[in-house]
C-alpha cells in the first residue's frame, strides 16, 4: 500500500552541519544518518525491522514510516507491529485484515530526550567520519608538497592551516635551520607522515625531509616531472648542503644540465626555497666505484678499494685533495656516504717508496674512540694525520693534550 505523503518536520537543522562536511561523500553521509535513526528506533521499539527510514539530505529532512500488520479489533498482541482494523481504516478506508499498512511517524513526538540522544549519536558518528576522511585524505598524499598558512608559532612546533583549514604540524626539527616565519606567511612543505593515535589524525609536515627536495625538482624541472630525468637518490644536511644523483634513459638528455638549467636558472629557485642550501647535482651510475668518485666531488680521487660485502670504500687521494673530499665539518664525505650507501674512509695517496701506517695499528697507544674520531674525518693513516691541515684536525673536537699525545706517538713511529 502506498505511503501517505505527509509533510515532515525539518530535523537536525536541515542537516546543514552534515551537508557542509568536507571529504565525506554523500552516500556515506546518508548511510550514517540512517544508521543513527535506526539505532534510536531500535532502542525505543525493541526493533527497527518494521520501519522505513528515508533520508532527504538535499531537502534537509528525514521521513520515518512504521509498517503494521492489520488484525481484527481486540486481537492486537504487539502494538509496535500490529494495528486493529478500525485504526487502520482511519488511515486507509479500504484497509482489510491481513493486509499491511504504513503510518508516518515524527521523531520529535518521542520527546526532547530522544531527540538529544539522536543528535549526540549523530555528532559522534560524524566526528569519527571527519577524522577517518581526514586521515585517508592526507595518507594518500604522504610525500607530496602542500602549502599552508602560518597560524601559530610555538617553541617546539608551528601550526599551519591549508586551504581547507586543516591543521598541519611542523615540528622544530622538521624546519630548515634558516627558516624564520611570521603569522600569515605561506609555507611549502612535504607531508611527512600522518599519525592516527586513538583515531585522532595528526598531520606532520616537513621541510627537512629528502622528499621535499625531490618534489621541488619535480615542480621546477619539467623533465623530472615527466619522468625523462629520474632522481635516483638524495642526501641532505638541511640548510647547508645536499647531493642529488640524477639519471636519464634518453642519451640526448643531459640530466645534470637539465636540472641545473642555463646559468643555474632552474636550480636557483630551489636553492632559495631551501634557505641557500648548496646543491650538488651529479650523474648517477650503477658502478659503485665511479659513483663514489662523483659523490666526493669536487675532490679528485686517485684510486678506490671496495669491500662490497661490508659496503665500505677506501678512497685514496693526493694530499691536497684530502681536505676537499672531507669538506667543512666532514660534511662532504658524510653526504657522499649517505648518497652512495658506502662507509667511506679517505687515505692520503702514498707515493712510491713512501711508507705509511694505518691508525688501527696504534690502538695499544691511542684510545680507540680517538682513532675513530680521526677516521671520521677521513684521516685513516699516520701520515694523513701528521700532514693534515690544523683546521681539519680541529673538527675532531679533541682536547689539546689528547691531540698532542696522538701527534707525539705518530711522529715517534717514523723517527724510529
Q: How many domains does the chain have?
A: 3
Residues 58 and 176 in one domain: no
Taking only the tens place, the pLDDT of each residue in 88-103 is 999 999 999 999 999 9
Closest CA to 382 of 355, 410, 360: 410
Mean pLDDT of the region 387-403: 83
Residues 204 and 304 in one domain: no
**Considering only 74-88, 101-115, 148-162, 209-223, which range has the smallest mean pLDDT?**
101-115
Task: Tell me: pLDDT of 20 over 70.
Answer: no
Closest CA to 275 of 178, 150, 173, 190: 178
Residues 119 and 147 in one domain: no
The verdict on residue 374 lying in a domain is yes
Residues 23 and 91 in one domain: yes
Residues 145 and 122 in one domain: no
Residues 148 and 75 in one domain: no
Taking only the tens place, the pLDDT of each residue in 124-179 is 887 888 888 899 999 999 999 999 999 999 999 999 999 989 999 999 999 999 89
Q: Which domain holds residue 315?
A: 286-416
- Using an 8 Å Cβ cutoff, are 39 and 77 in contact? no
Backbone angles phi, psi at 244, to 5 degrees: -130, 130
Taking only the tens place, the pLDDT of each residue in 252-283 is 999 999 999 998 899 999 999 999 999 999 99
The verdict on residue 70 lying in a domain is yes
Of 109, 136, 163, which residue constitutes the final position of a domain? 136
- What is the rounded CA–CA span in Å between residue 222 and residue 218? 7
DSSP letter assigned to residue 231: E
- Using an 8 Å Cβ cutoff, are 233 and 240 in contact? no
- Using an 8 Å Cβ cutoff, are 184 and 190 in contact? no
Q: If you average pLDDT over every residue of the chain, what do you get?
A: 86
Closest CA to 317 of 359, 379, 374, 376: 379
The verdict on residue 7 lying in a domain is no
The verdict on residue 324 lying in a domain is yes
Angle formed by the axes of helices 319-326 and 331-340, nearest 10°: 70
Residues 6+ apart with CB under 8 A from 145: 188, 189, 190, 191, 212, 215, 216, 219
Task: Tell me: pLDDT of 1 over 60.
Answer: no
Residues 6+ apart with CB under 8 A from 156: 171, 172
The verdict on residue 224 lying in a domain is no
Residues 93 and 148 in one domain: no
The CA-CA-CA angle for residues 377, 380, 382, to 5°, reads: 115
Task: Tell me: pLDDT of 2 over 50.
Answer: no
Of 86, 104, 136, which residue constitutes the final position of a domain? 136
- What is the rounded CA–CA span in Å between residue 81 and residue 273? 69
Residues 75 and 186 in one domain: no
Residues 290 and 390 in one domain: yes
User: 53 pairs with which residues across the strands?
Assistant: 64
Helix (H) or strand (E) holding 129: helix 112-140
Cα-trace Rg, the chain: 36
- Using an 8 Å Cβ cutoff, are 284 and 319 in contact? no
Residues 45 and 130 in one domain: yes
Residues 416 and 290 in one domain: yes
CATH number for the domain including 149? 2.40.50.140
Residues 189 and 111 in one domain: no
3-state secondary structure of 93: coil
Of 78, 106, 136, which residue constitutes the final position of a domain? 136
CATH number for the domain including 415? 3.30.300.20
The verdict on residue 221 lying in a domain is no
- Using an 8 Å Cβ cutoff, are 115 and 84 in contact? no
The verdict on residue 333 lying in a domain is yes
The verdict on residue 259 lying in a domain is no
Amino acid at each position: 500500500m502506498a505511503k501517505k505523503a505527509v509533510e515532515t518536520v525539518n530535523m537536525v537543522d536541515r542537516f546543514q552541519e552534515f551537508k557542509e562536511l568536507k571529504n565525506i561523500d554523500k552516500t556515506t553521509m546518508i548511510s550514517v544518518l540512517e544508521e543513527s535513526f535506526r539505532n534510536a528506533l531500535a532502542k525505543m521499539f525493541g526493533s527497527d525491522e518494521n520501519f522505513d527510514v528515508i533520508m532527504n539530505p538535499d531537502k534537509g529532512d528525514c521521513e520515518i514510516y512504521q509498517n503494521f500488520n492489520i488484525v481484527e479489533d481486540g486481537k492486537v498482541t504487539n502494538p509496535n507491529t500490529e494495528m486493529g482494523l478500525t485504526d487502520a481504516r482511519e488511515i486507509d478506508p479500504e484497509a482489510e485484515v491481513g493486509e499491511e499498512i504504513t503510518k508516518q511517524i515524527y521523531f520529535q513526538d518521542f520527546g526532547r530526550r530522544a531527540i538529544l540522544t539522536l543528535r549526540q549519536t549523530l555528532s559522534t558518528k560524524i566526528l569519527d567520519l571527519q577524522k577517518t576522511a581526514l586521515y585517508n585524505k592526507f595518507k594518500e598524499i604522504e610525500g607530496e608538497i602542500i602549502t599552508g598558512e602560518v597560524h601559530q608559532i610555538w617553541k617546539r612546533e608551528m601550526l599551519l592551516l591549508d586551504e581547507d583549514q586543516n591543521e598541519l604540524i611542523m615540528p622544530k626539527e622538521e624546519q630548515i635551520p634558516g627558516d624564520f616565519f611570521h603569522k600569515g606567511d605561506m609555507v611549502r612543505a612535504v607531508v611527512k607522515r600522518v599519525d592516527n593515535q586513538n583515531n585522532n589524525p595528526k598531520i606532520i609536515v616537513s621541510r627537512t625531509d629528502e622528499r621535499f627536495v625531490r618534489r621541488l625538482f619535480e615542480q621546477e624541472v619539467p623533465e623530472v616531472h615527466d619522468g625523462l630525468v629520474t632522481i635516483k637518490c638524495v642526501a641532505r644536511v638541511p640548510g647547508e648542503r645536499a647531493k642529488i644523483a640524477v639519471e636519464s634513459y634518453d642519451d640526448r638528455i643531459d640530466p645534470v644540465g637539465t636540472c641545473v638549467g642555463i646559468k643555474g636558472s632552474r636550480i636557483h629557485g630551489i636553492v632559495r626555497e631551501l634557505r641557500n642550501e648548496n646543491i650538488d647535482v651529479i650523474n648517477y651510475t650503477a658502478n659503485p666505484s665511479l659513483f663514489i668518485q662523483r659523490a666526493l666531488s669536487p675532490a679528485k680521487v686517485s684510486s678506490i678499494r671496495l669491500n662490497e660485502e661490508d659496503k665500505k670504500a677506501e678512497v685514496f687521494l693526493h694530499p691536497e685533495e684530502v681536505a676537499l673530499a672531507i669538506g667543512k665539518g666532514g660534511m662532504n664525505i658524510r653526504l657522499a656516504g649517505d648518497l652512495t650507501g658506502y662507509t667511506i674512509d679517505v687515505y692520503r695517496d702514498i707515493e712510491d717508496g713512501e711508507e705509511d701506517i694505518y691508525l688501527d695499528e696504534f690502538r695499544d697507544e691511542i684510545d680507540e674512540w680517538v682513532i675513530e674520531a680521526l677516521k671520521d674525518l677521513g684521516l685513516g693513516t699516520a701520515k694523513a694525520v701528521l700532514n693534515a691541515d690544523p683546521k681539519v684536525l680541529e673538527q675532531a673536537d679533541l682536547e689539546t693534550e689528547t691531540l698532542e699525545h696522538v701527534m707525539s706517538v705518530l711522529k715517534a713511529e717514523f723517527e724510529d
